[in-house]
Amino acid sequence: MNYPVRIGIVGGGQLGKMLTQAAKKLGFYVTVIDPTPHSPAGQVADKQIVADFKDPKAIRELGKYSDFITFEIELANDKALYTLMKKGKIVNPAPSTLGIIRDKLKQKKFLKKHKIPTARFLNVSFKKDILIGGKSFGYPLMLKARHGAYDGRGNAIIKKETDIDRGLEKLKDRELYVEEFVVFSKELAVMVARSIKGEVISYPTVQTIHKDNICDTVIAPAPIVTKQYVKAQKLARKVVENLEGSGVFGVEMFLDKKNNILVNEIAPRVHNSGHYTIEGSVTSQFEQHIRTITGLPFGSTDLTSKVIVMKNILGEKNGKGTPVGIEKALSIHGVSIHIYGKRESRPNRKMGHITAVGDDVKKCLKKVNKARKMITI
């Protein structure tokens, strides 16, 4: 590898920031694209191109400053990225993978094609398709947007047939599909890294706890029996083995009431459920992603502690993104705090996260919850 190595990242949010920090640790030159001036990643990168993620002109410009190109957001323009690939730029994960995962119906069809267990689903073109789903799967149902849906946005629960019109109104003018409602006992996730040679390694299976459809807490390793833990590992690896391109992928799963594990969604990028790896793993998911897209060897995914718990810091109201109470929170032994540098806060916006390491789940949970109560933002 000849230095300086230049990396381009589409997206300048918190994921882009932590990717940039990992790349800078290795001495790489980083350029990011983000429409917000002084974005979180732009604050630590060598250069920021202020433009929309989908802007083909901006992506072409990114190519001028980059040897390796990646993304932190599914809104990236896969066609423009593919054009850069044809011109000799190295883009990972592959634009074809981005195209599959960004469309959630295509993602579900991908899982079905490769015989990976997932909730039953049906394309929706007309109201009658939802009625068919109700007869086939029973109520409640999940009505979902195929594109641009995350953190619960773009979903509507159809509890009974009379809710269909309300759901269609909520998600009007969007391409939709319907999915059976999974009653789960736990939500799980596994971060999987794939090399440019197609080799895969995985991080420990973790439990994710959501509030209002947004990830609130992550517990590593997941407090589940060995059989379930291993099954989640195998499923996550199988998902990534069948995708194209290198990088780190997040695989989210349900452990249902019958102890079946179903893949819910795939993220073709670093993911919130892997933030614990910064303090909790020998190699963070962010450094691992940089390693894999540039052809460097895998880093160890071993945990640095018996237990790691991560808790998100979500915005509480509209206003400045300046945190208050950090000093008190940092006085708690074993606690680390990451503030993303977003200039504006709003309710439920991801503004930072807290990590606690230790040897007991309850103690670590107590620490992150105590720290979170000390911080206002």
211 contacts: CB under 8 Å, gap ≥ 6: none
117/3 Cα distance (integer angstroms): 44
Residue 57 has pLDDT above 80, yes or no: yes
Residues 72-121: tens digit of each pLDDT:
999 899 999 999 999 999 999 999 999 999 999 999 999 999 999 999 99
Residues 21-34: tens digit of each pLDDT:
999 999 999 999 99
Give the number of C-alpha atoms closer than 13 A to the C-alpha of residue 252, restricted to the C-beta side. Answer: 25
124/129 Cα distance (integer angstroms): 5
Q: Write out 203-263 in H/E/C secondary structure.
A: CCCEEEEEECCEEEEEEECCCCCHHHHHHHHHHHHHHHHCCCCCEEEEEEEEEECCCCEEE
Pairing of strands 206-211, 155-158: unpaired
DSSP per-residue letters across 74-136? TTS-HHHHHHHHHTT-EESS-HHHHHHHHSHHHHHHHHHHTT-----EEEESSHHHHHHHHHH
8/91 Cα distance (integer angstroms): 9
Residue 196: the pLDDT is 95
Going by C-alpha positions, the residue among 37, 35, 42 that lies closest to residue 14 is 42
Residue 237 has pLDDT above 70, yes or no: yes
Name the one residue in this structure whose structure tokens are 């939802």: 130
Sign of torsion, CA 173 178 184 189?
Answer: negative
Residues 278-333: tens digit of each pLDDT:
999 999 999 999 999 999 999 999 999 999 999 999 999 999 999 999 999 999 99
142 contacts: CB under 8 Å, gap ≥ 6: 119, 155, 156, 157, 158, 178, 179, 180, 181
Residue type, 95: P
Residue 151 has pLDDT above 70, yes or no: no
250/70 Cα distance (integer angstroms): 15
Per the DSSP assignment, residues forming a β-bridge with 71 are 10
DSSP per-residue letters across 311-375? EEEE--SSEE---B-HHHHHTSTTEEEEE---SEE-TT-EEEEEEEEES-HHHHHHHHHHHHHH-
Residue 149: the pLDDT is 77
209/365 Cα distance (integer angstroms): 12
Would you give the distance in Å from CA 218 to the centre of its chain? Answer: 13
Burial degree of 327 (CB within 10 A; 0-12, 13-18, 19+):
exposed
Residue 213 has pLDDT above 80, yes or no: yes
Burial degree of 99 (CB within 10 A; 0-12, 13-18, 19+):
middle
Structural domains of the chain sorted by starting position, each given as residue range(s) with its CATH number in brackets: 6-91 (3.40.50.20), 120-180 (3.30.1490.20), 184-374 (3.30.470.20)
CB atoms near residue 182 (< 10 Å): 17
Going by C-alpha positions, the residue among 22, 149, 177 that lies closest to residue 75 is 149
356/280 Cα distance (integer angstroms): 9
Reported pTM: 0.95
3-state secondary structure of 60: helix
3-state secondary structure of 143: strand
Portion of the chain with pLDDT greater than 70, in percent? 99
